[in-house]
């Protein structure tokens, strides 16, 4: 039997990644296309959805060319993508307006109205999650109130990966993991929440059909196959939200495992075997891409984005991320008393407060840009640690962290997490975990693997290097965390 290959596409906020892997998980090629969100007004974050499609076409073609594999050996394609974001289509499936992204905060008024009229306790009962600006529900309500012409044209709303799949296959669908992030899903029942939809007067017909993450949704249309350089009729699998796909790419599929992601935002992810939401709604409870599993997700909105802000807006550009991290290494842990609140776009876990704002605290004449780089990186990891402690309070237990995202590209990010979390930190051998996870989901969908568990056992490989917590720094960072939290509380 000839070798078979799989394609995985991850539609990020700052770029699109594509991987082409062999059946045993060997990475044959990867490609990346960078783009940036549009920020037309304070608090707004948008993207033209067709930017994702064009990036996907270019990245797939490049990956195939690099790998040099027979196109007929590619068995399937899977997708993952940024969560929460809303793509609005008319009855002819044309884009009505730029997609409203997950880090957009324009819908604060709509969120406050929901919490006042429906109530957080009722929302907790219906969907098991808080509603935040940038979630599909709040973005739709903003459009309904502020852009009536767009609302009147609205026939269908999709998440990022589902828009790209629609263009590839002509089929409408989403999966329950990504749908969890819309604030429109009854996460426990894995169904659209009819009660909530009635309460906010959104017709259920405007939402796509729900599918399993490993289900075949359609096949490549002839014109898209030609554009991609792939066989017409190639199976396209439903896929998952980027966090769930990334968890699969990292082998995080069982309770007791934990992943940490530092990308544009930052997330902690731990699977749970039965549905349990936080009564105080300080953490997200979503469906996993693994059938009949859920997960808790803690989130900080500006992780790598905070370091990019420092580089571009404060320092005027000119430095690479590696240079910033190397500069931070020259500063002692604790940044000589300088603290950073990484709330440049509000915050999720545990505050769930879009009005929180970022700040440097404790600046003196002695502090340099190197101290600021150190403080930013420490502040991001402190924010993630808030989520880790909350997961423990809710009953989760773990003894190591699997790190992922851009934060794996410099040792300081990894060692900081080990020292602050008090846990061993390691990575997998595949840097693009979300795209890799999407490819594995495709493999399950086309029958190369029996299930997600077998796919991970065969394909996910751990790195040999382990970052271990240093006892002396654990003490230092616990003291810094107390000071950091006191600043937040004020």
DSSP 174-212: EEHHHHGGGT-EETTTTEE-HHHHHHHT--GGGSPPEE-
* 443 in a structural domain: no
Q: What is the pLDDT of residue 141?
A: 98
Same domain, 46 and 171: yes
* 442 in a structural domain: no
Same domain, 280 and 401: yes
Q: Which long-range contacts (CB under 8 A, 24 or more apart) does 275-279 make?
A: 275/128, 275/187, 275/188, 276/394, 276/395, 277/124, 277/128, 277/129, 277/187, 277/188, 278/390, 278/394, 279/124
- Report which of 229, 238, 176, 239 is spatially closest to residue 207, judged by C-alpha positions: 176
d(CA 380, CA 458) in angstroms, rounded, equals: 33
Same domain, 292 and 201: no
**Positions marked active-site:** 242
> What residues have CB less than 8 Å from 137, skipping those under 6 apart?
114, 131, 182, 183, 184, 196, 200, 202
* 172 in a structural domain: yes
Q: What is the pLDDT of residue 352?
A: 80
Q: What is the pLDDT of residue 1?
A: 59
Same domain, 485 and 404: yes
* Structural domain ending residue among the three candidates 191, 221, 241: 241
Same domain, 20 and 152: yes
Same domain, 257 and 236: no
* 327 in a structural domain: yes
* 453 in a structural domain: no
Query: How far from the centroid of its chain's Cα atoms is residue 203's Cα?
Result: 27
Same domain, 134 and 97: yes
Six token digits for residue 251: 């082998």
* 143 in a structural domain: yes
Query: Tokens 């799989």 appear where?
Result: 6
CB of 214 within 8 A of CB of 445? yes
**Residue range of the domain that includes 230:** 5-241
> What residues have CB less than 8 Å from 55, skipping those under 6 apart?
11, 15, 16, 33, 35
* Structural domain ending residue among the three candidates 241, 269, 287: 241
Q: What is the mean pLDDT of each run of 10 residues along the chain (490 residues)?
A: 90 96 97 95 96 99 97 98 97 98 94 95 94 96 98 98 99 98 98 98 98 98 98 97 95 94 92 93 95 94 94 94 97 97 88 88 97 98 96 92 90 97 93 93 98 97 94 94 81
d(CA 425, CA 432) in angstroms, rounded, equals: 17
Same domain, 267 and 219: no
Q: Indicate the pTM of the whole model.
A: 0.90
CATH (domain of 131): 3.30.420.40
| Strand runs labelled E in 352-396 | 359-361
* 440 in a structural domain: no
* 448 in a structural domain: no
Same domain, 158 and 261: no
For residue 52, the surrounding DSSP H or E stretch is helix 49-67
Same domain, 211 and 264: no
* Structural domain ending residue among the three candidates 208, 241, 274: 241
Six token digits for residue 254: 């069982």
Q: What is the pLDDT of residue 355?
A: 82
Q: What is the pLDDT of residue 263?
A: 86
Domain count, the chain: 2
Instruction: Please provide residue 370's backbone torsions phi and psi, each rounded to the nearest 5 degrees.
Output: -65, -40
């Amino acid at each position: 039997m000839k070798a078979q290959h799989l394609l995985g596409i991850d539609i990020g906020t700052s770029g699109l990644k594509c991987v082409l892997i062999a059946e045993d998980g060997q990475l044959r090629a990867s490609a990346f296309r960078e783009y940036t969100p549009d920020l037309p007004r304070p608090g707004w974050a948008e993207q033209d959805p067709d930017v994702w499609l064009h990036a996907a076409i270019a990245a797939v073609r490049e990956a195939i060319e690099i790998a040099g594999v027979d196109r007929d050996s590619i068995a399937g394609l899977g997708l993952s993508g940024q969560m929460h974001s809303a793509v609005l289509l008319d009855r002819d499936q044309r884009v009505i307006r730029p997609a409203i992204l997950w880090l957009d905060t324009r819908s604060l008024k709509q969120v406050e109205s929901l919490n006042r009229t429906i109530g957080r306790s009722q929302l907790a009962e219906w969907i098991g999650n808080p509603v935040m600006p940038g979630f599909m529900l709040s973005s739709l309500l903003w459009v309904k109130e502020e852009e009536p012409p767009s609302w009147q044209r609205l026939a269908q709303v999709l998440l990022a990966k589902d828009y790209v799949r629609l263009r590839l296959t002509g089929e409408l669908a989403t999966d329950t993991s990504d749908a969890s992030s819309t604030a429109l899903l009854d996460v426990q029942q894995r169904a659209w929440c009819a009660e909530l939809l009635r309460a906010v007067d959104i017709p259920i017909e405007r939402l796509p059909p729900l599918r399993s993450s490993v289900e075949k949704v359609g096949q490549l249309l002839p014109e898209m196959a030609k554009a991609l350089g792939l066989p017409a009729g190639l199976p396209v699998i439903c896929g998952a939200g980027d966090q769930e796909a990334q968890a699969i790419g990292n082998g995080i599929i069982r309770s007791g495992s934990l992943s940490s992601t530092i990308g544009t935002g930052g997330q902690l992810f731990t699977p749970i075997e039965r549905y349990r939401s936080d009564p105080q709604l300080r953490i997200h409870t979503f469906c996993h891409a693994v059938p009949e599993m859920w997960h808790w997700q803690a989130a900080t909105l500006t992780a790598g984005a905070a370091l990019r802000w420092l580089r571009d807006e404060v320092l005027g550009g000119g430095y690479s991320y590696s240079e910033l991290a190397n500069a931070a290494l020259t500063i002692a842990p604790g940044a000589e008393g300088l603290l950073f609140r990484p709330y440049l776009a509000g915050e999720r876990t545990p505050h769930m407060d879009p009005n929180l704002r970022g700040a440097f605290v404790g600046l003196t004449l002695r502090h340099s840009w190197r101290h600021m780089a150190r403080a930013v990186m420490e502040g991001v990891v402190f924010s993630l640690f808030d989520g880790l402690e909350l997961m423990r309070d809710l009953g989760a237990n773990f003894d190591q962290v699997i790190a992922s995202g851009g934060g794996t590209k410099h040792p300081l990010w990894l060692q900081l997490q080990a020292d602050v979390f008090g846990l061993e930190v390691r990575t997998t051998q595949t840097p693009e975990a979300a795209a890799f996870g999407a490819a594995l989901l495709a493999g399950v969908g086309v029958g190369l693997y029996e299930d997600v568990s077998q796919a991970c056992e065969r394909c996910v490989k751990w790195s040999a290097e382990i970052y271990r917590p240093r006892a002396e720094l654990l003490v230092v960072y616990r003291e810094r965390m107390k000071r950091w939290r006191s600043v937040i509380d004020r």
